[in-house]
Amino acid sequence: MSKAKLAVFASGTGSNYDAIIEATQNGKLDAEVVLLVCDKPNAKVLDKARVNQTPLFVFDPKQYASKEMFEAKIVEVLQEKEIDWIILAGYMRLIGNTLLAPFEGKIINIHPSLLPAFPGLDAVGQAFTAGVKVSGVTIHYVDSGMDTGKIIAQDAVHIKEGMTQEDLQQAIQRVEHKLYPETIQQLILKGE
Ligand code: GAR
């Protein structure tokens, strides 16, 4: 059977993109990252993608008249590459219906909290400020809401006495880098 084709969407540093690439290289994830979609022409993830020679679709939303227009262009590229799964990895935009409709059930997102707690921006900061003792990571299907789709996997991170927000951020990212490739692999095996 041919390998599942992934498109990773990212806007920032790309540590999850890196973890996914590494898992495809060391045999833990039976898939191929055939495209990186990025909405920030200066994002650090682009340097990583160039090193790995991942094909890129980089766009500046301001250059398009509307969200429908840039999402229609993305759909065109995804269909050209026969993408099986869209993996959101720090892509900081809501997915609109133009992109959601043709790929519904095939788009997943990672979020740095135990949803439904702390959706939206700066989830780690929100959890830290709230003083919770347990936070974590959620992987979920994407729907039209903000971090609201059906939950696929979660893992907890305990916030110990004396931990700084930076410590929490790092602990959460360590969990993400393991949980995301594992969860993608399980979805591929289930053939959902
Ligand atoms: C990750 O921690 C991810 O969970 C978060 O952005 C970070 C991207 O890091 N996503 C969200 O907050 C989505 N609501 P990375 O660029 O190093 O992978």
Return the number of other C-beta atoms located less than 10 Å from residue 52's C-beta.
15
Q: How far does the centroid of ligand 1 lie from the alpha carbon of residue 1, in Å?
A: 31
Q: Are 28 and 184 contacting, i.e. CB atoms less than 8 angstroms apart?
A: no
Full set of structural domains in the chain with CATH: 4-190 (3.40.50.170)
| Residue ranges around ligand 1 (CB below 6 Å) | 10, 12-16, 89-90, 110-112, 123, 147, 173, 176
CA dihedral for 67, 45, 175, 170, sign (positive or negative): negative
Residue 111 CA: which ligand 1 atom is closest?
Answer: 4
CB atoms closer than 10 angstroms to residue 66? 11
Residues of the chain falling short of pLDDT 70: 1, 192
| pLDDT tens profile 112-159 | 999 999 999 999 999 999 999 999 999 999 999 999 999 999 999 999
**Phi, psi (rounded to 5 degrees) for 148:** -115, -10
Q: Which residues pair with 138 in a beta bridge?
A: 111, 154
* Ligand 1 center–CA 89 separation, angstroms: 6
